[in-house]
Amino acid sequence: MSVTTAWLALVALMIGPGMAVPAAPQPAGTLVVGLVAEPVNLDPAQVTDLNSNRVGRRIVETLATFPDESTQIVPGLAESWTVSKDGLRYTFKLRKGISFHDGTPLNAEAVKFSIERQINAEHPFNKLGKYPFANYFFGNVKAVEVVDPSTVEFVLKEPRASFLAILTAGAASIVSPTAVKKLGVDYALQPVGTGPFRYVAWDRGQRVVLERNAQYWKSPVKVERVIYRPIVEDQARLTELLTGALDLIVGTPPDFVAQLENNPKVTLLKQVGAHVWYLGINNQKKPFDDKRVRQALNYAVNKEAIVRDVLKGTGSMSAGPVLPGTWGADAGLKPYPYDPERARKLLADAGYPGGFTTSMWVPESGSGMQSPVAMATVMQSNLKAVGVNVTLQTFEWGAFIAKLRSKEQELFALSWMAGNEDPDMVMYPLLHSSQWTPGGPNRALYKSDTFDELLHQARLTTDQAKRAELYRQAQRILADDPPWIFVDHEIQTAVHSKRVQGFKLHPSFDLRVETISLK
């Protein structure tokens, strides 16, 4: 056999079977979802990334939760709760008759176990995992007390009006203590909860398989199996969707949005999420310690152009950290208009008629960062137009986050996903002066005594209407004394095939595939 024939034979061997295997349709009842990256593990108390949460939260649930279309708090595994007058005791009545996927009952002990494994260093199962949110969410929890099998009480160290919002977070998921004890450190790879789907299998790098929980308490789950596939490359994810190998994908690159909107084979969904993208400013460094300079930067940046031309409609202009339309947002607040003339005047008033030179640190990518480099490049040219010469430096995410601890930043791009709409969960960590980096995430080193006091008061106030008023005042302070350049709130996208029915994107960025039925 000549080399050529051998070569042809090999090609035939390789291509032949491929042509013989057309993209077979999925078995009825199986939903295949394309994720942008592989989950790290499936225990929502041990992960910080969106992909892990989107899968893990199908398996475990929380005491308080959100309805399918908003981030207003409604009962979850707890059917009701009461808050003591002093705001220190939260008592939950659990729903009766709910079992974990391993058949053990959901009870007050399980709730106590789920939280204490994270916060109590002496807890026998504390060492099994790293709990990134333990302090941030539950540092204020003094004790979790079992009143009776279906009543559990959280005792706080000091009042925290956002505590119910905290209990909607993945970290507050209730796990099966029996399963944790049995599986040990491997629990994070195959969690056991009460959710609409149970864990079946995980082929590393390929797929995670979940199966319907036939006993699900809330509503019947219509999909038999969900398979999650990690596909990093955008074009590959999109091709798989368009050829029918995937039913649903999230994280559509902005450049594909228009093309997909007009594609009759698929449906594109959009939903603004509890997210904010900002260009942080080091408020302690000259010349940024002058609020006129920070105002000028806000006037100088053309947010409309960024949202329209870079994000192609996958962002909505931001006027502050709080998502417009939610209960804590100040409806009267408008985004800073694009006004380079005014920016130049403010800079001149602040003593910089000729502008100045500064640096901008930008991560190449990152969860919630949208298109960081392209967005930063637009801002760089906007700022140059008013005399501010910016050197753009890009970093890989891990290096970027480490660098921000140096406090040497001048301008820097970041985003925040609170996961819920409580204004405390975005303003307090990012802007309260007790949260300055490296101790907390206030990397703009913003400090305003009035603002700090308003946020503190709001934490002590349980009445939502009163809290809302305090937060509105706080937002007005930020609008006048901007700690960042406010840029946008992400409009998340998902694309699904026509066989997918009843799917909605959730403002918390959760991916609730349990609402889907397949045609």
Partner 1 sequence: MRRYLARRLLLLVPVLAGVSVVIFMVLHLSPGDPVEIMLGSQATQEDRARLRAELGLDQPLHVQYGRWLGHVARGDLGRSLWMKRPVLDEVLGRFKATLVLTGTALLLSSLAGVALGVASATRPNSVLDRLSAVASLFGASMPTFWLGIVLMVIFALWLGWLPASGMYAAYGGGDLRDLLAHLVLPAVTLAAASVTIIARLTRATMLETLGQDYIRTARAKGVVERAVVLRHGLKNALIPIVTVVGVQAGYLLGGAVLTETVFAWPGVGTLMVQGILARDFPLVQGCVLVVALSFVLVNLAVDLLYAWLDPRIRYE
Of 506, 508, 507, residue with least CA distance to 516? 506
Upper half-sphere CA count for residue 397 (Cβ side, 13 Å): 8
268 binds partner 1, rule: CB under 8 A: no
Q: Which stretch binds partner 1 (CB under 8 A): 132-140, 212-220, 278-286, 373-381?
A: 132-140
Q: HEC states along 50-104? A: HHHHHHHCCCCECCEECCCCCCCCEECCEEEEEECCCCCEEEEEECCCCECCCCC
Q: Which is nearer to partner 1, 345 or 403 (CB)?
A: 403
DSSP secondary structure string for all residues of 224-262: SEEEEEE--SHHHHHHHHHTTS-SEEE---HHHHHHHHT
Strand partners, 305: none
129 binds partner 1, rule: CB under 8 A: yes
Assigned token pair, 56: 């893990």
Q: By CB under 8 A, what part of segment 437-456 binds partner 1?
A: 438-441
What is the SS3 assignment for 345? helix
465 binds partner 1, rule: CB under 8 A: no
243 binds partner 1, rule: CB under 8 A: yes
User: Where do we find the tokens 């930043």?
Assistant: 409
Nearest-approach distance from CB 274 to partner 1, in angstroms:
15
Q: Which is nearer to partner 1, 19 or 331 (CB)?
A: 19
21 binds partner 1, rule: CB under 8 A: yes
Of 435, 507, 37, 35, residue with least CA distance to 275? 507
Assigned token pair, 425: 């969960």
245 binds partner 1, rule: CB under 8 A: yes
Q: Which is nearer to partner 1, 85 or 204 (CB)?
A: 204
Residue 236 CA to chain centroid, in angstroms?
Answer: 24
Please state the φ and ψ torsions of residue 299, each to the nearest 5 degrees.
-70, -30
Exactly one of 132, 253, 313, 324 binds partner 1 (CB under 8 A); which one?
132
Q: By CB under 8 A, what part of segment 94-113 binds partner 1?
A: none
Q: Which stretch binds partner 1 (CB under 8 A): 2-10, 90-98, 151-159, 340-348?
A: 2-10
22 binds partner 1, rule: CB under 8 A: yes
186 binds partner 1, rule: CB under 8 A: yes
Q: Which is nearer to partner 1, 291 or 403 (CB)?
A: 403
364 binds partner 1, rule: CB under 8 A: no
28 binds partner 1, rule: CB under 8 A: no
Count of residues interacting with partner 1 (CB under 8 A): 75
What is the SS3 assignment for 458? helix
329 binds partner 1, rule: CB under 8 A: no
